[in-house]
Structure 1
Amino acid sequence: MAATAPTKPSNIAQNSFVKALAESSTLNSVPSQFSFANDSKASHSDSIPIIDFSLLASGTTDRRAKVLRDLDNACREWGFFVLVNHGIPDSLLKAIIEASLEYFELPEEDKRRYEAKSASDPIKSGSGSVINTANQKINLWRDFVKSYVHPEFHCPDKPHKLRDVLVEFSEKTRSVARKLLQDIGENLGLEKGYMDEVLKLDSCFQLYAANYYPPCPQPDQAIGIPAHTDHGLLTFLIHNGVAGLQIQHNGDWFNTNSPQNSILVNTADHLEIFSNGRYKSVRHRAVVNNKATRISVVMANGAAPDAIVSPAVPLVERDGRAFYRPMKFIEYVETMLSNRFQGKSNLDCLKIQDDTELKTHCSTY
């Protein structure tokens, strides 16, 4: 069914944020600027791996060995896993969701201060858009706030409690990510400390992102975030209990169902590059519904901003060649955030398959 125009088109011009548009009493259809026909049908699966972090940290030798194998399989086969018993207090997970929601409830003039002027802005807020293959701009049915929180900490001034909560959330998630990466390095057969040194993880990059997906009158005619992969090494995601994240596995789409107080983790682009393709950065998307607001909080964990990320040398030696080109981490992130490539991901541009094809598509790096 084709999308119809809203009752009052002026709503689109007046409102910089989707939240205000969605709360309009006259809205009964998706405005044309948001029209993104999609089939959001997905299967339910109980096969998404569950990793018990406590057993990685302090389990017996046999139990730890099993969890290491499970972690390796999760990174190879799914690119996603549910992390339980991670040690981050439930109260902190609840607090970061609540503080993020308070941000979205601020007056528009407060949020508009952080409208992005460039991809390198350390704090960004807005609704966002994508360029489709027909070179058309499509607005997304979500509002967001993003800020760089490590190695330099940035945070919106309001709400006031967000800063303290975000500082603690960044520290706790960074510690868990470092431990997971140590275990992943062990699974890859790398010497202890190799990943830390090469990727400069003492100065690792962290990006906080909170997403607000209000109810949509026509969920099949809009999209929260279209299918994509993430920059970085590991992405952590928590939410307010409203479903909406779908992942692609072997060509099929699956709904995610992470238990309360768990963290959904996905292996991202730079882990695929660093592992020389052993671990995959998997496509995923955020769909919307017409009943409840969804809040998700993401912490993207990456290499140091100035680190040059390329396949690990020991893995290249085992494989006989590198399958990805090197690139400075922060340049990759900012290029990705700028929507510079239309319909082609950064990761595709760094894959070494056919030199002629690679130069044709990605020579502008």
Structure 2
Amino acid sequence: NPPSYRDANKVYAKCLRGVADKLLSRLSVGLGLGEKELRESVGGDELTYLLKINYYPPCPRPDLALGVVAHTDMSAIAILVPNHVQGLQLFRDDHWFDVKYIPNALVIHIGDQLEILSNGKYKSVLHRTTVNKDMTRMSWPVFLEPPPELAIGPLPKLTSEDNPPKYKKKRYCDYVYCKLNKIPQ
């Protein structure tokens, strides 16, 4: 816990909040909502930023192992700082696709909570990670999570008689419990 690390983390957190605010604003407008509606719907100032550091050492038989099995993220959004070692894959049209590394770029995943709030207009990204035979891979995802007690459901402005809610309204903590325990939502 050197002081320089704490200072760097404070600057990083401030920058991430700016990125998250811009993302949520643009995604909100994309749904035909006001700029702040999605941010407020996922917790506003109570939104949690959860940083994980993933370390994948070299694996002599990458054909026999996965870094992380296929999943969608429970959060609203995941902001990922990748590195140059390939390993992230997205599933689309019945195929797995490698996510190309672009220097100084972030990878953004729509999470389950935005899929629910948008009533399915935005889709949570099914993804997995693979391991590398020769090189260590690291990633630094930040998950934007609603407060545990916040109830999340399709936004009323995005539902109608012709487009009824596709998801039940549920507290985020209950959603997490069900997903982690593989209980149908």
Using the size of structure 1 for normalisation, the TM-score is 0.48
Change (3 A) 1:199 1:319: farther
Segments of structure 1 that go 5 or more residues without pairing to the other structure are 1-157, 351-365
From 317, 339, 352, give the equivalent of 2:160. 317
2:39 is aligned to 196
Give the corresponding residue for 1:217: 60
- Contact kept? 1:272, 1:281, Cα under 8 Å: yes
Tell me what 2:181 maps to. Answer: 340
Compute the displacement of 1:212 (Å): 0.4
Deviation at 1:194, TM superposition (A): 2.5
Aligned length: 185
User: In the alignment, which residue of structure 2 is the partner of 1:244?
Assistant: 87
> Is residue 111 of structure 2 the alignment partner of residue 268 of structure 1?
yes
Q: Is the 8 A contact 1:205 1:305 kept in 2?
A: no
Change (3 A) 1:267 1:318: farther
Q: Is 1:305 the equivalent of 2:148?
A: yes
Residue 171, structure 1, aligned to residue 14, structure 2 = yes
1:285 Cα deviation from its structure 2 partner: 0.5
Q: How has the CA–CA distance of structure 1 residues 194 and 219 changed in structure 2, closer, same or farther, with 3 Å as cutoff?
A: same
Structure 1 residue 160, shift from structure 2 partner: 5.5
Q: CA deviation at 1:168?
A: 2.4
Report the AA paired with residue 212 of structure 1: Y
* 1:203 Cα deviation from its structure 2 partner: 1.1
- Distance (Å, rounded) in 1 between the aligned partners of 2:82 and 2:39: 29
RMSD: 1.9
Q: State the 1:180 CA deviation.
A: 1.1
Matched residues in 2 for 1:224 and 1:266: separation?
Answer: 18
Structure 2 unaligned regions, length at least 5: none
CA contact (8 A) 2:42 2:76 kept: no
Residue identity matched to 1:226:
V
1:291: Cα distance to partner? 0.3
C-alpha contact (below 8 Å) 2:153/2:169 kept by paired residues = yes
Q: Is the 8 A contact 1:303 1:329 kept in 2?
A: yes
1:207 to 1:279, Cα distance in 2 relative to 1, 3 A: same
Aligned runs of 1:15-164 on 2, under 5 Å? 158=1, 161-164=4-7
**SS of residue in 2 equivalent to 1:254:** strand
Structure showing greater radius of gyration is 1
Aligned match of 2:50 = 207
Q: Tell me if the contact between 1:204 and 1:305 (Cα under 8 Å) persists in the aligned partners.
A: no
Distance 1:331 1:261 in 2: 36
- Change beyond 3 A, Cα 1:258–1:281: same
Structure 1: distance between partners of 2:25 and 2:175: 23
Q: 1:115 maps to which residue? A: none
Partner Cα separation in structure 1 for residue 24 and residue 109 of structure 2: 12
Amino acid at match of 2:22: K
Q: Which has the higher contact order (CA 8 A, sep 6+)?
A: 2
